[in-house]
Each structure stands twice: as C-alpha cells, then as structure tokens.
Structure 1
Amino acid sequence: MRVNCVGAIIFDASDQLLLIKRGHPPGMGTWSVPGGRLEPGETDAEGLRREVLEETGLRVEVGRLAGVVERPGPGGVTYVIRDYLARVAAGVPVAGDDAADVRWCAMDELVRLPLADGLLDALAGWDVLPTGPPVP
C-alpha cells in the first residue's frame, strides 16, 4: 500500500532549517522536516499547512515542490513523500502533535544530528540547501 505524505522545507532569514524531532514511530527520536500523511480529500498544500501547524505551531505559505522520495514503512507500506519549500507566515515554533522537539538548525549542525534516513542526501540532491551540502 502506498501512503501519500508531505514535508515542509523551511528556512529562516539566517538560512537555518526548521527540524522536528519525531516523537512517535516511524523514525522516533530522529530529526526531520515537519510533515506527515495526507488526510482523505486533502490537497498537498492543505496537508502541508495542517501538518506544519500541528507539529510546530507555525502558519506557512507553500512554495514549489522540491522533490519526491519513497520510504518503506511497517507492514509493507510505502510512504510517498512530496517535500515542498515553504515560508513562515506567522507564529513561533513550539513542538506539538507527534513532534517531541522543534528547532532551527544551521547547516553545519545537520551532520551532528541523528537525521531521518536519507534526509540530508535528498535535500542536497534537490539543491535546496542554502550553502550546498555540509561537509562532515
């Protein structure tokens, strides 16, 4: 079964990436961009705005599609994740819903965090990192 998901790639004025620490499986304890499963009848933009608000308390404007990845899930599920660039329209980040924590992360910090599998490679491959891929 394929499950449609969305993720938000959000940078602040200092080119720091917004990350959430997953509070539940899959990926519990790893850092990733905010996002999750689409609800029935929801567009990508609607789902993205809802997920970011639920997980971070931020209201966002959805930009262009950055890229698509597929990740295996439990029980033979395949998560089809469409990641979009987004911009904060209002709010201050506060962890909520299934996010255990939320933070802005400088590019040189990315390599020191336990990131979700394939996140850094996907962002670098889509050429959306402000200074290119960080060097370990």
Structure 2
Amino acid sequence: MRVNCVGAIIFDASDRLLLIKRGHPPGMGLWSIPGGRLEQGETDEAGVRREVLEETGLRVEVGRLAGTVDRPGPGGVTYVIRDYLATAEEGVPTAGDDAADVRWCGQDDLVRLPLSEGLLESLTEWHVLPRGR
C-alpha cells in the first residue's frame, strides 16, 4: 500500500533550515523537516500548510516541488513523500502535534543531529541544503 505524504523545506532569513524532532513513531527522536500524511481529498499544498501549522505553529506559502522520495513504513506500507519549498509568512516556530522540538539548523547541525533516514542525501541531491550556520 502506498501512502501519500508531504513535507516542507523552510529557510529563515539566515538561510537555516527548519527541522522538527519527531515525538512519535515512525522516526521518534529523529530530526526531519515538518510534514506527514495527506488527509482524504487533500491537495499537496493544503497538506503542507496544515502539517507545518500543526507541527510548528507557522503559516507558510508553499512553493515548488523540491523532490520526491519513497520510504518503507510498517506493515509493508510505502510512504510516497513529496517535499516542497515553503516560506514562513507568520509565527514563531513552536513544537506542536507530534513534534517534540523544533529549531532552525545550519550546515553544522545537519552533521551533528540524528536525522531521519535519507534526509541529508535527499536535500543534497535536490540542492536545498542550508548555507547558514
């Protein structure tokens, strides 16, 4: 079974990437970009906006598709994840929903933090790494 998911790649004015620490499985304790499963009949854009608001408290404008990845999930599920560039319009990042923590991260953080499997490789491949520190 394939499950449609979306994620948001958001940078601040210092070109740092917004990451959340997952508070629940799958990926509990790992850092990733905000995102999750689409709801029935939901568009990618609406899903990105909803997930970012639920997990970080930020309202975003959704931009172009950065890339797509397939990730294995429990019980033979495959998560089809479409990650979009997004711009924060208002709010201060605050952990909510299934996010245990939220923070702006520079290049140095990406090599220090325990990241979700494949995140760094995907961001590198899509040329959307943070340049800030």
Instruction: Identify whether the pair has TM-score above 0.5, normalized to the shorter chain.
Output: yes
**Greater mean deviation of Cα atoms: 102-111 or 61-70:** 102-111
Partner of 1:134: none
Q: CA RMSD in A?
A: 0.6
**Could you report, residue by residue, the CA deviation over 1:37-67 in whole angstroms, capped at 9, with x for unpaired residues?**
0000000000000000000000000000000
Identity of aligned residues (%): 81
Where in structure 2 are the equivalents of 1:1-136 lying within 5 Å?
Answer: 1-131=1-131
The AA in structure 2 aligned to 1:38 is L
Return the offset for 1:129: 1.6
Alignment: residue pair count: 131
Q: Take 2:109 and 2:40, find their aligned partners in 1: how far apart are those partners? A: 36
Q: TM-score, normalised by structure 1?
A: 0.95
In structure 1, runs of 5+ residues without a counterpart are 132-136
Q: Contact 2:35–2:48 (CA<8 Å) still a contact in 1?
A: yes
Q: TM-score, normalised by structure 2?
A: 0.97
Q: Take 2:8 and 2:81, find their aligned partners in 1: how far apart are those partners? A: 10
In structure 2, runs of 5+ residues without a counterpart are none
Other structure's SS at 2:6 match: strand
